[in-house]
Amino acid sequence: MEKRELTKDEILGLIAEFKSEINKNQAKIDFFNEKIDELTRLLSENKTTPRKPYPLSQWDTIVLDVIKENGKPTTSNEIYTKAMAKAKSLNINIDEAKMKAKINQVLVKLSSRRSDLKKVKFQGRGYAYTLR
């Protein structure tokens, strides 16, 4: 195959063809960018709004007060004994098993669902609870 030189008209034709392809591809890029923006907006609109935190119960405040008064990470055993004493002083009369179950529910709620408490490793005793 022989090499031949392009004429001026052929060169101008190729330039026009390349520019046309660039314009077509730019139109595709603009179209896809618009679609991406539209889908991103839809995604952000469809996100569920977080629920408002529900008010603290009497037991919640008792457990939080115990941890605040202690001033350091508090084990669940310490929380049980101090919260039971506080509940008795507030004339809350429940048997000990139900009271322990209630305090355990409060600890789970405050540390996982509401994130008011943080569960931390505690020296040889498992875990302790502290305020966030």
Return the exposure string of 1-23: e unless at least 16 CB atoms fall within 10 Å of the residue's CB, then b. Answer: eeeeeeeeeeeeeeeeeeeeeee
> What predicted TM-score, i.e. pTM, was given to this entire model?
0.58
Tens of pLDDT along 79-129? 999 998 998 888 888 888 898 899 999 999 988 888 888 888 888 767 888
Kindly report the CATH number that applies to the domain delimited by 58-131: 1.10.10.10
pLDDT exceeds 80 at position 48: no
Q: Where are the domains of the chain?
A: 7-47, 58-131
Contact of 43 with 90, CB cutoff 8 Å: no
Give the per-residue pLDDT at 122: 82
